[in-house]
Structure 1
Amino acid sequence: MEFRPANPADLEGIIACLKRSLGETSSPKTLSYWNWKHVDNPFGPSPVLIAEDNGKIIGVRAFMRWSWRWSGKKYNALRAVDTATDPDYQGKGIFKKLTMQLLEKCAQEGDHFIFNTPNTQSRPGYLKMGWVEVGKLPVRIRIASLIKMVRAYITGKVNSPDVDPVLPIYHLPTALKNFDDSMARYPRPTGINTIKNKKYLKWRYVDCPIQHYYGYLDGYDQEQMLMIFYPKVQKYGVELRICEVQSNSPLALHKLKRAMRIIGQTFKPAYWSVANAGDGILTQAIKEAGFGKARRIGPVLTVRYLQDNLPVDLKEIDPWDATLGDLELF
């Protein structure tokens, strides 16, 4: 059995290993999806390690590149994502060997830390390999209709909104085309946040093959507000999930309220959700728009340092200014 870095010629074998190990239920096991995630990523191609036995790929471990910013400094990060072991080879420690070897390689290359949001089944394995549980992402909720929430919970019946995905007013490619992404690049007042620009937003939300995202843009030049969102059917009704909201405008509250009124009339959610930290104009607008106190109900974040003496403590949730879109599973 050999462990080695993957190369483009291995892609067919990697996809086959993923299919044998995981099936098609969790995410697409296709070349196009793999390339979107691991090759076209604007933060750079993913480091991938494979296990091979007699020319057959029997194990895969991929870390997706990510870039975070804190106090004006860039940190090169990795996101622990795709991993698979051929069913005929499970129980031989291949997952751990691939993971630890790839961690060592990335640390030697200067990457700063690795993070992910593992589920309850996989989390213990990561903790044993040195990951630390940071906590749940703080999320703010705004109830649009308590009656809808109660009815959905009691009846168990929730209908997804029937909205044309290319409706011009919510057409994300058009919104991004007209968006001044200097606002996305603008450092947030506090917290560690993903480095973003139009290229990132297009890759993450327009090109994403597993979820359709809507966009809404209000205003011109430096008085803009961009919202990226989608409806999600939950047991308490339709959640209108705000994955990104960008604005430095003093009119942010007015723009946010207007956007929510227009979007709400179309999608008719039972409630809204957003993750937003810091103490800037936008955070204050979100609070005043009726979103409640930030509560730790989002995905569980875990982290592992690859370098010593980082100047920011990533092992506590407070420094993290992550959006729901940053930490969604994909």
Structure 2
Amino acid sequence: MKIVEYDPSRRGELADLLARVWGGQPDPETLTWFYERSPVGPASVMLAEEDGIVVGTVGFVFAVAELAGREQEIAFAVNLATDPAYERRGIFRALQAANEERVAALGIEMIFTVPTAASTPVLVDVLGWQRLAPLRVWARPGALRRSSRAVVARFGERPDRQLQGRDRLMRDDAWLNWRFADGPRHYTLVEGDGGYGVAGSRGAMGFIAAAESSALRDTIRASSGRVLAAAPPAWERRSYAAAGFVPTTRRFTVLGKSISGSTLVAPHFDLGDLDFL
């Protein structure tokens, strides 16, 4: 087995691998957007080759977070895939270890993922990832969708990122537009009263992908779906409760790892941070 770094010339081979693993051919333009156009920087993607064929991949995409009062880049492990014909050969373990070493060399200190049932044992038991507090889903009945002047096609320029003393993702306008306006999935963007909101839907369920409390009600009005889900941070749960959300029993497993030797600190994740993992 040979492990190599991904570059755009391998896009077609990567798409073929993902089609064999997931049963559907990803759009090459989607891979370009996801791996190559983030304003934080291109993704770190490793490929495993056997006999000249790409048989496995592990990617990390980057975001900016405030952790323990400090702004820093973090990484999400995404698109963890091994060709079914090459499973149980240690390919995933080798790829993941190689990519962790690579992003550590780039200065990344903390890495996170929402794992599958298959990847969890390797990540936790072999590679030393830790189980974090699960992300609890809240829900309320869906709102009647209304037109709103707050709905925008793209987010306008936002103030520079400011530390707030909260462990959270720091989303500027460039990142918000890359993630929610430029990607392949449709989202409704809301901007007003100094805040932003993003609403998405999957089938009959709508969800708050990301929102600041000042824009929460406009985001609810702009949402669709019979049920509306969200994952509010601790410091905004009172606002969500006042808007009709209640906690449910649904939780997402979240794993994290410090690759710098420092204490692991996790930011709050919203549902929009998870639905592309």
Alignment TM-score, normalising by the size of structure 1: 0.72
Instruction: Give 2:276's aligned residue.
Output: 329
Residue pair 2:151, 2:222 contacting (<8 A) in 1 also: no
Aligned residue in 2 for 1:187 = 163
Shift of the 119–58 alpha-carbon distance from structure 1 to 2, 3 Å rule, reads: closer
Q: Distance in 1 between matches of 2:230 and 2:21?
A: 34
Structure 1 residues 295 and 88: CA distance shift in structure 2, 3 A: closer
1:203 corresponding residue in structure 2: 178
> Paired residue for 2:187, among 195, 213, 216?
213
Query: For the structure 1 residues 4 and 259, does the alpha-carbon distance in structure 2 shift closer, same or farther, using more than 3 Å as the test?
Result: closer
Distance (whole Å) between structure 1 residues aligned to residue 250 and residue 191 of structure 2: 28
- Which of 42, 47, 62 is the equivalent residue of 1:45? 42
Shift of 1:121: 3.4
1:49–1:168 Cα change, 3 Å: same
Q: Give the match for residue 288 of structure 1.
A: 242
Distance 1:111 1:257, change over 3 A: closer
Equivalent-residue separation in structure 1 for 2:73 and 2:206 (angstroms)? 31
Quote the Cα distance in structure 1 between the aligned partners of 2:15 and 2:219: 41
1:301 pairs with 2:261? no
Bigger shift: residues 112-121 or 13-22: 13-22
- 1:98 aligns to what? 95
Amino acid at match of 1:105: R
C-alpha change, 1:4 and 1:278, in structure 2 (3 Å) is: same
Q: Is the contact between residue 84 and residue 95 of structure 1 (CA under 8 Å) also seen in structure 2?
A: yes
Residues 172 and 104 (structure 1), Cα distance of their counterparts in 2 relative to 1, 3 Å cut: same
SS in 2 for 1:135: coil
1:100-119 alignment runs, 5 A limit: 100-119=97-116
In 2 relative to 1, CA 181–95 (structure 1 residues): closer, same or farther, beyond 3 Å? same
Structure 2: distance between partners of 1:256 and 1:49: 38
Residue 206 of structure 1, CA deviation: 0.8
Per the alignment, do residues 114 and 289 of structure 1 end up closer, same or farther by CA in structure 2, a change over 3 Å counting? same
Q: Distance in 1 between matches of 2:63 and 2:222?
A: 31
Indicate if the aligned counterparts of 2:151 and 2:191 stay in contact, CA closer than 8 A: no
Shift of 1:257: 4.5
Check conservation: 1:194, 1:326, Cα contact below 8 A: no
TM-superposed deviation, 1:203: 0.8
| 8 Å Cα contact 1:172-1:206 kept in structure 2 | no
SS, match of residue 14 in structure 1 = helix
Q: Is residue 9 from structure 1 mapped to residue 9 from structure 2 by the alignment?
A: yes
TM-score, length basis structure 2: 0.84
| 2:153 maps to 1:173 | yes
Deviation at 1:88, TM superposition (A): 3.6
Which residue of the other structure, out of 233, 237, 240, is the alignment partner of 1:277? 233
- For 2:209, the equivalent position in structure 1 comes to 243
Aligned sequence identity (%):
21
User: Residues 44 and 59 of structure 2 are in contact (CA less than 8 Å); yes or no, is this contact kept in structure 1?
Assistant: yes
Moved over 6 A (4+): none
- Which residue of structure 1 lines up, in the alignment, with residue 74 of structure 2? 77
Q: Work out the CA distance in 2 between the residues paired with 1:82 and 1:203.
A: 18
Q: Any conservation in 1 of the 2:151–2:190 contact (CA below 8 Å)? A: yes
| Alignment correspondent of 1:157 | none
What does the per-residue CA deviation read over 1:48-85, in whole Å, with 9 as the maximum and x for residues that have no partner?
A: 22222343323222222222112441232221111333
Report the Cα distance in structure 2 between the residues aligned to 1:101 and 1:69, rounded to whole angstroms: 26
More helix by share: 1
Once residues 204 and 22 of structure 1 are traced to their aligned partners in structure 2, the CA distance between those partners, rounded to angstroms, is 22
Aligned-partner Cα distance in 2 for 1:12–1:259: 37
Give structure 1 stretches of 5+ with no counterpart: 146-160, 315-319
